Structure 1
């Protein structure tokens, strides 16, 4: 339990409550040496029912006036380090579905990131969503993706796509398919 609490960065009480709930939902099996997840896809889908990218996180909407390819160059070159790309752009690292039309990026400070990335605030027609994460632990689980852009973990990307805008749910299914056949390359012990 101690290891789980540290890894998840939650209180011991929260960890016990969540494990009890997941056990009641038959999504985990407790063993003397730890917890087993017999069906990680079912667990991920259940999580996405409670977690929703647009509602759980604090979202701001922006326009990358020079388009997404230039925006991705700005991410790579601008020197901002506290970010993690998610959604369609991140999913393309593992399983390309279609050319991304928008970008979803977790940041700790949207104003600083938007200035560095030359974004313009908007209420409509956004092609970039900046999200202050409700759970900052996702930065610790992010890593380098294509073109050295920092991306969220594939489980986070899948959950964000499941509840994200537009064609996100279809992209999530493609990513889940890839994850199922490439489990050894992304899943931690």
Structure 2
């Protein structure tokens, strides 16, 4: 059980003790106040006010003749939001640069400690090269000389009870909003997002506040200037589950997968010929992932069925699928198709085609895989890597450009 500190001094002591336990008997940690470390290392920095760190730790190997590592520590008692983590990272880096000018901390490292640090805040710190340690056991420290690499997982939820003050990224409207931000480059405007998504002004305003606090977007006045699309997809996936986001029904392709794919292509061609605005049946999951990430190993064929009453039955009949009793386990009943019926049209936005077969867009594919069962989350990470290397292949220019 995590014993929460009463003040910043207690936090620093507990954090130092936790790191000492992780390092073991072959290390000693010596703590200095900012004034002490500067006075000991140099007379050039007589004014240490506002240097931007709370303590400095010297990590000294006791069994090896190796130069110790100086680590600058920033302690945070209050909840460390991703936005605050970003600001603390800038603050620590500024302090490090001040001390580096006279050549004092060429081997210095930067570390944020707190009672608890959320997964998103840890991600923000890692992206900026900042280490972290919380009292529940979430630790990420990487020092080259002397070699120190520590990565442990602690509590996923804060041990401090809190009242939610921001709207999260769960629910269909948030999913539609995330797709809009991810699929188009910045800049964006709140009013324009309201018009394009059909979501109310109030809801959009609250979502933008949440995304700003989570350091997923940056704003200058009313203009959204930067969008962390990978962070957005991961954050949305954390509150979204592929198999629970709507109705899902397992089935068997009685004529085999090749014939089923042919039927999907034919059905899409019929809709085009009729010049209808009806959504086609769309494929997601490993079948699409294989186009960009060969590591995908297969599994059921996931099909998005358009919303509407009786659509599951109509699609099953049209594609000659045999529905599996829902009381059975799809993985052991021979089911090779999962029909998904989402609560809205979001999965059908900006679809693509693979050999004539309609497939979800890449942002939807990443979400589905990251939140899917089995090996799908690993496939989702592979999709993100491909998207990061091929942004021009899937992301469209800002509608404002």
Normalising by structure 2, we get a TM-score of: 0.44
Could you tell me which residue of structure 2 aligns to residue 135 of structure 1? 344
| 3-state SS of 2:283 partner | strand
Q: Pick from 56, 59, 83: which aligns with 2:248?
A: 59
1:61–1:130: 8 Å Cα contact kept in structure 2?
yes
CA distance, structure 2, for counterparts of residue 156 and residue 21 of structure 1: 21
Asked if residue 173 in structure 1 is aligned to residue 375 in structure 2, the reply is: no
Asked if residue 158 in structure 1 is aligned to residue 360 in structure 2, the reply is: no
Q: Larger RCO: Structure 1 or Structure 2 (Cα < 8 Å, ≥ 6 residues apart)?
A: 1
| 3-state SS of 1:115 partner | helix
C-alpha distance after superposition, 1:18-57 (max 9, x if no partner): 1111111111112346324443211110000111111112
CA distance, structure 2, for counterparts of residue 65 and residue 36 of structure 1: 50
Pair 162,71 (structure 1): closer, same or farther in 2 beyond 3 Å: same
| Structure 1 outlier segments of 4+, above 6 Å | none
| 3-state SS of 1:55 partner | coil
Name whichever of 68-77 and 175-184 sits farther off.
68-77
CA distance, structure 2, for counterparts of residue 9 and residue 94 of structure 1: 32
C-alpha distance after superposition, 1:161-185 (max 9, x if no partner): 1111221111111111111100111
CA distance, structure 2, for counterparts of residue 33 and residue 84 of structure 1: 36
2:216–2:228: 8 Å Cα contact kept in structure 1?
yes
Pair 48,32 (structure 1): closer, same or farther in 2 beyond 3 Å: same
Asked if residue 71 in structure 1 is aligned to residue 260 in structure 2, the reply is: yes
Could you tell me which residue of structure 1 aligns to residue 305 of structure 2? 107
Could you tell me which residue of structure 1 aligns to residue 323 of structure 2? 121
Pair 130,36 (structure 1): closer, same or farther in 2 beyond 3 Å: farther
CA distance, structure 1, for counterparts of residue 350 and residue 195 of structure 2: 13
Asked if residue 49 in structure 1 is aligned to residue 221 in structure 2, the reply is: no
CA distance, structure 2, for counterparts of residue 102 and residue 37 of structure 1: 37
Name whichever of 16-25 and 30-39 sits farther off.
30-39
Aligned length: 188
1:68–1:101: 8 Å Cα contact kept in structure 2?
no
Normalising by structure 1, we get a TM-score of: 0.90
Pair 178,8 (structure 1): closer, same or farther in 2 beyond 3 Å: same
CA distance, structure 2, for counterparts of residue 52 and residue 98 of structure 1: 19
- Gapped runs of 5+ residues in structure 2? 1-189, 272-278
CA distance, structure 1, for counterparts of residue 338 and residue 223 of structure 2: 37
Name whichever of 147-156 and 4-13 sits farther off.
4-13
- Gapped runs of 5+ residues in structure 1? none
2:285–2:302: 8 Å Cα contact kept in structure 1?
yes
